[in-house]
Structure 1
Amino acid sequence: MPTAYRLLLPLGLALLSACAHQPGSLAVHQQSQCPLSLRSGQQVILTLPSNPTTGFRWVLRDGASSLLDSLGPEVYSNPEDAGLIGSAGQSTWRFQARQAGAGHLLLTYQRPWETEVAPAKTFDCPLRVQ
């Protein structure tokens, strides 16, 4: 067996082993899936219906920053099959549980410039990390 293969084989096995031990991710699409119970290292993928062309946006009010790490900014996607300009889509956030404790993911759906108006929707999800 050539030397390069002998070096790559253990490296490949180590990478596969590391992937196999990653905690799964949890997809959340609605308030009824709350409260959440997470393990340290587990990812949460939060996806909520959104239509920024109306001026409304989800605003992250509490990201449980003492428990969760944000894995990037909000990502907005519009379903390809909609085919209509201005049609609704989805906003997605990704978080990873960092440490044990309890908290909330709190988002409000509102026009950011309408500070005196109550949000059109609120997503308040209690969570616990073990």
Structure 2
Amino acid sequence: MTAARLLLPLTLSLLAACAQQQPSNVTLQQSQQDECPLDLHSGQQLTLTLASNPTTGFRWEVKDAAPGVLRSLGPEVYSNPEDAGLVGSAGQSTWRFQATNPGDGRLLLLYHRPWEVDVAPAKTFDCHISVK
């Protein structure tokens, strides 16, 4: 009987600890840029997805990837919705990062035509990242 009494508070403590645990993967899209600055914990993964259409010549360029606090988990991955069925239709570009070290950084991407050097980018994604 004593073991059962001890088991209940222990179970409740474990459930409370799990409820406070941070998700292992944070997903962010361009429409969610107002959620920046973004607070991450070391070890969390960040998936960033931005609308893209490289057939127009426009590309997302990573200008600042928050070095020291984020580590890239691979190159940009472009995907086109399969149901669109249209050549040249828009898709999305996705990047994955992992929060590595405590500190602050800036995740800055520019959507532009790389050969147009004196033209302002068509879109910008700018997010302050804080890793704890």
Instruction: Report the TM-score range of the alignment, normalised by the length of the smaller protein.
Output: 0.7 to 0.9
1:83 maps to 2:85: yes
Query: Map of 1:112-123 to 2, 5 A cutoff?
Result: 112-123=114-125
Structure 2 unaligned spans of 5+: 1-20
Using the TM superposition, name which of 26-35 and 73-82 deviates more: 26-35
Q: Which amino acid aligns with 2:125?
A: F
Instruction: Return the TM-score normalized by structure 1.
Output: 0.81
* Runs of 4 or more consecutive aligned structure 1 residues displaced over 6 Å after TM superposition: none
Query: Map of 1:1-130 to 2, 5 A cutoff?
Result: 24-30=24-30, 31-130=33-132
Give the whole-Å Cα distance in 2 for the aligned partners of 1:108 and 1:93.
14
- The offset of 1:66, in angstroms, is 1.1
Secondary structure (helix, strand or coil) at the match of 1:94 reads: strand
Which residue is equivalent to 1:10?
A: none
Secondary structure (helix, strand or coil) at the match of 2:86 reads: coil
- The offset of 1:33, in angstroms, is 2.4
Give the whole-Å Cα distance in 2 for the aligned partners of 1:129 and 1:57.
28
- The offset of 1:23, in angstroms, is 5.5
Structure 1 unaligned spans of 5+: 1-20
Q: Which amino acid aligns with 1:42?
A: Q
- Size of the alignment, in residue pairs? 110
Q: Percent identity?
A: 67
8 Å CA contact retained: 1:23, 1:41: no
Q: Which amino acid aligns with 1:25?
A: N
The Cα RMSD (Å) is 1.4
Which residue is equivalent to 2:11?
A: none
